[in-house]
Amino acid sequence: MISDNNINKYRDELQNKGIQPSFHRLKIYEYLKSVKNHPTADEVHRELTSQIPTLSKTTVYNTLNLLVENSLIFAITIDNGEVHFDGDIKPHGHFKCLKCGKIYDIFIDEGEMNFGLKISHEITEIQIYMKGYCEDCKKSP
């Protein structure tokens, strides 16, 4: 169930964006804010149906799209065709292991987010993706 500590905070965040905070939306949002594994929509659905048997895939997909459109979560498209979701909206990049498939957060000093570029544009989002082999996989054959 939704924790008492977060329910009011998440309800306020949704309402501040003009989103009706239904139980399903709150539960999906809470889940994404609490995990670091960058799940796909199907993984979100699979995880939450054990707690909410009436949760449909359509509700999950629609809610995820609504949360992305309102900048409450990020959609990560590190690979073609597969979208992962991230509840951490602070500036950071992502690393995907080519062997195990896990996606890890990479934190970059916010003062260096312009990468030495002198531009006058307003940057609203930065997507940094790296691929390679994680520490565990590069050790194993």
Q: Is-contact 78 103, C-beta < 8 A?
A: yes
100 & 81 share domain: no
Same domain, 12 and 66: yes
For residue 74, what is the domain's CATH number?
1.10.10.10
| Per-residue pLDDT band at 1 (split at 50, 70, 90) | very low
Rounded to whole angstroms, the Cα distance separating 5 from 13 reads 14
What's the domain range around 108?
93-139
Q: Which residues contact 1 (CB under 8 A, 6 or more apart)?
A: 51
Out of 21-25, 84-88, 117-121, 129-133, pick the least confident: 117-121
**Cβ 74 vs Cβ 39: under 8 Å:** no
- Residues 20, 80: one domain? yes
Does this model's pTM top 0.75? My answer is yes
Same domain, 16 and 45: yes
Q: At what angle do helices 23-34 and 57-69 cross, to 10 degrees?
A: 70
- Tell whether 11 and 75 lie within a shared domain: yes
Q: Are residues 20 and 81 in the same domain?
A: yes
Number of domains in the chain: 2
